[in-house]
Structure 1
Amino acid sequence: MWCAPLARWGRRTDPPGPAPIIGAVNDVDLQERPSPRRALPALLGYAGVRALGLLALALWSAAAGKSPHTLLTARWDSLWYTRVAGQGYGWSVTLPDGSVHSNLAFFPLLPWLERLGAAIGPLSYADAGLVVSWLASLAAAWGIFAVGDHLYGRRAGICLAVLWGALPVGIVASMAYSEALFTALAAWGLYAVVRRHWVVAGLLASLAGLTRPIGAAVVAAVWVAAALWIVREHRAPWRLVLGVLLAPVGAAAYVLWVGHRTGGGLFGYLDVQGQWGNGFDGGAAFARFVADKFTSPLGALAGIGLIVGVALVIWLYVAGVRQRQPVPLLVYTGIVVVLALCAAGYFGSKPRLLLPAFPLLLPIAVALARWRFSRSAWLLGVLASASAVYGAFWLNGSGPP
């Protein structure tokens, strides 16, 4: 619906071949900048998809007698973030089984921004978080476009940004959650990596590490890209070294602070996550969760759907490898996918945890960029509509179905 007509603003040429293993190598390309004007079709397309999702949510919520504003700002994790913003760290809930859910599990960048937004304007912490998320989602769409445009051409970049907005759980980018903020930092961090802007990449990786635990994936992308560069060029410029050193600072600082506060040392944060039932078990708990679905006919359909979904994610990753995506992107995506699928925890959140893995969509985006406008418009329209309906159904329910 959005990608193809807007892509008329771009060149009607096939996307270029794959980029080098790290990024651009010619001097002319290194002078390019991701201009807002070039990204405008992608931003308009993405904004249209998100607006459709919000419209569907408003209509569904009105029929259900619920407030869409409350669903976007005071549901699930958004409540924990606003409590951190308003009360600081140290708040926790003790469950009947004796486990403690502490707000130390939530990384601080979004609450900091919520507090800043409330301090400089008339917004509540929740509304400030919503504004941050909406602005960050546009920044994420721009960064995702920039990566796709740099690697495979403008039309592929437009399709990539719109596809990301039309994911089934795309409504999360419109909530007071940290996914949009993290994806924005990750996308621009990866763009800086493939463009060899080492200091910027390190700074963005550090900020991503202050946003979500999966910030380690951006750090790994920076380190792998730097290692490949050193091996290839037999030198390590000071900007590269500085970027490598900056990348883990954010995540390391918060994890060490939590360890000091809890008395758990280096493993203090893991202890906090363990209390929430989160931890890496190689996917054993998720496999049991899927297997348990096959105890009834209806559950079997859900189990088959889960297996198909996981297979699709794996297939898209393999397609990215065959597409010869830059190694740092493959490293980033691989870590996001592995941690999402192979960690214990609330299994209904796994689709949401995969939201930052936007490079998985690159093979589809490149294929769509080669289609006729009418064909890609029809497909993206269907995906955007389905995403809007699913998001409204999800937020008006008791949790992820």
Structure 2
Amino acid sequence: MPQSTLDDTVERPSPLPTAVRKALPSIGLYLLFQLVSFGVLWLMSWKADVSPGRFVEGFDANWFLSVAQNGYDQPVVIGADGAPGENSMVFFPFYPGLVAILTLVGIPALPAGLVVSLLAGCAAACGLFVLGRDFAGPRVGLLMAVLWSVGPGSAALHLAYSESVLMALVAWTLVAVARRQWLLAGALTLLAGLTRASAGALVAAVGVAALVAVFRRRDGWRPWAGGLLAPLGLLGYLAYVWIRTGRPDGWFWLQNAWQMHFDFGRFTLAQIGEGLTVDRAGWVTVTALIVLVAVALQLWTWATRLPLPWQIYGTLTVVIALCSSNYFQSRARFLLPAFVLTVPLALVLAKLPNRVLAVLLPAAAVLSGWYGAYLMTIAHLAP
């Protein structure tokens, strides 16, 4: 039976080399399916007579690489209508900071960004394997890592994007929470808060887990310290943008340049309705179906006995992903950190023989790769 992450007993962590060795299949399959997905992007780029490098370093990657090379050097520009112009401060600093470190040793920014994404993806696959193994066995752990790596938004994992870094921090934070390593959990959550705004879901999950430990009088002062440490990265960066813009809502205000704000899902619902009823671009219909499947999986997770921090994190991540007001095509990427959606599927697929999985999983990788490549090469949209 699955065990709660807040159980009275603490599982002794495996030595790191042993843990990595056991996770090697998940890392290997992650790399294999990323290669498959990038191969699909290369083929569709070749068919469109465009270099795949244009997409690897395009879209949000341009902003991340600009921050890595130049810092937040853009002044805040306000248009005649009082709205802000596009500004790099919308993009959180931890991922470009890692890229900047590699550029110090002579690696150009784009290859450095891809190396960071690749290594972080391997760390995320390893962390998801450990989470799933501790929850329901190694087969479920392997499938959780693989299903995450072939999700519809997984094209971002082989671009210069920050999703893989966020997922690595999320996975290992929840491992630390499960083992009641509160200081480590707080520190990793702090870094996640410097990576993407959606890390607020992780802050909430760690905070609730720490409060439960405090109320149950476990682990002394450590839950207090971990819970207080967790939000400092996110709050610290929002405070930095406040200082730069002179507005306490500075980061949210800058998002208006991209017409992005929290709208309680109205935009998403409207797009789903149009995608399923109006003769529009095919990607709108496909994205609408992906969103509906994600909602169904979210409901399924509520009916599955999952650890409380997972439920809090997963639910809030889905809410954040589906309640923004623009870029409907990016919904799959916004949902990518919601790894909890893979758990019910992993529990079902774990019962299937390997020969069936050997067909299903590569097919999923190809379909996912096609979806991401179609958005970039045919629809000319950011994934």
User: Could you tell me which residue of structure 2 aligns to residue 218 of structure 1?
Assistant: 202
Q: Work out whether 1:128 is the aligned partner of 2:112.
A: yes
Distance change >3 Å, CA 156–CA 130, structure 1 → 2: same
Tell me the CA shift for residue 156 of structure 1. 0.5
Deviation at 1:271, TM superposition (A): 1.3
CA offsets, 1:230-258, max 9 Å, x none? 23x23561221111111011111110011
1:240 aligns with: 223
Give, in whole Å, the separation in 1 of the partners of 2:284 and 2:88. 32
Distance in 1, matches of 2:355 and 2:277, equals 44
1:253 partner letter: G
Counterpart residue number, 2:318: 337
Query: Is the contact between residue 291 and residue 303 of structure 1 (CA under 8 Å) also seen in structure 2?
Result: no
* 1:205-241 Cα deviation digits (max 9, x unpaired): 000000000111111111111122223x235612211
Matched, 1:371 2:356: no
Distance 1:95 1:309, change over 3 A: farther
Is the partner of 1:344 in helix, strand or coil? coil
Match of 2:242 in 1: 259
The question of whether the paired residues in 2 share the 8 Å contact of 1:99 and 1:276 is answered with: no
Aligned-pair Cα RMSD in Å: 2.2
1:76 aligns with 2:59: yes
Match of 1:107 among 72, 78, 92: 92
Instruction: For 1:363, give the aligned amino acid.
Output: P
Match for residue 268 of structure 2? Answer: 286
Matches of 1:359 and 1:379 in 2, distance apart?
Answer: 20
For 1:19-58, list aligned pairs within 5 A: 19-20=3-4, 22-27=5-10, 29-33=11-15, 35-58=19-42
Per-residue deviation, 1:291: 3.5
Moved more, 315-324 or 40-49: 315-324
Q: CA, structure 1 residues 224+186, in 2 after alignment: closer, same or farther (shift >3 Å)? A: same
2:198 and 2:136 map into 1 onto residues whose CA distance is 26
Q: 1:169 to 1:200 in 2, by over 3 A?
A: same
Aligned partner of residue 86 in structure 2, secondary structure: strand
- Asked if the contact 1:206/1:248 (under 8 Å) is kept, the reply is yes
Separation in structure 2 between the aligned mates of residue 104 and residue 111 of structure 1, nearest angstrom: 12
Residues 1:119 and 1:396: Cα distance change in structure 2 (over 3 Å) = same
Q: Is the 8 A contact 1:61 1:68 kept in 2?
A: yes
**CA spacing shift, 1:323–1:156, aligned 2, 3 Å:** same
Q: Please report how far the alpha carbon of residue 303 of structure 1 lies from its aligned counterpart in structure 2 after TM superposition.
A: 6.4
The amino acid that maps onto 1:112 is G
User: Judging changes above 3 Å, is the alpha-carbon distance between structure 1 residues 200 and 84 closer, same or farther for their aligned structure 2 residues?
Assistant: same
Q: Equivalents in 1 of 2:141, 2:367: separation in Å?
A: 22
Tell me which residue corresponds to 1:13: none
SS of 1:100 mapped into structure 2:
coil
**1:85 maps to which residue?**
68
TM-score scaled by structure 1? 0.88
Q: Distance in 1 between matches of 2:287 and 2:372?
A: 18
> Cα distance 1:303–1:390, how it changes in 2: closer, same or farther (>3 A)?
closer
Residue type matched to 1:138 in 2? Answer: C
Q: Any idea what SS the aligned residue of 1:280 has?
A: coil
Matched to 2:187, the amino acid is L
Call closer, same or farther: CA 1:292–1:389 in 2, change over 3 Å. Answer: closer
Q: Is 1:175 aligned to residue 163 of structure 2?
A: no
Q: 1:197 is matched with which residue?
A: 181
**Which residue of structure 2 lines up, in the alignment, with residue 316 of structure 1?**
297
Q: What residue is the counterpart of 1:350 in the other structure?
A: 331
Q: Which moved more, 1:370-379 or 1:358-367?
A: 370-379
Q: Alpha-carbon deviations, 1:85-113, whole Å to 9, x = none?
A: 22221426778976411111110111111
Secondary structure of 1:370's partner? coil
Asked whether the equivalents of residues 167 and 387 of structure 1 are also in contact (C-alpha less than 8 Å), the reply is yes
In structure 1, distance between residues paired with 2:155 and 2:29: 15
C-alpha change, 1:197 and 1:114, in structure 2 (3 Å) is: same
Rounded to whole Å, the distance in 2 between the matches of 1:225 and 1:246 is: 13
| Alignment CA distance shift 1:310-1:204 (3 Å) | same
Q: Any idea what the Cα deviations from partners look like across 1:60-84, whole Å, max 9, x if unmatched?
A: 3233332223321x21100011111
Q: 5+ residue gaps in structure 1? A: 1-16
After TM superposition, give the deviation of residue 182 of structure 1 in Å: 0.7
What is the CA deviation profile of residues 293-343 of structure 1, one whole-angstrom value per residue up to 9, with x for unaligned ones? 4674346x7766555433321221222222211010010011110011012
Q: Contact 2:84 / 2:253 at 8 angstroms: preserved in 1?
A: no
1:362 — aligned with what?
Answer: 343
2:123 to 139, 162, 168: 139
State, as a whole percentage, how many aligned pairs show the same letter.
35
Q: 2:190 aligns with which of 206, 220, 233?
A: 206
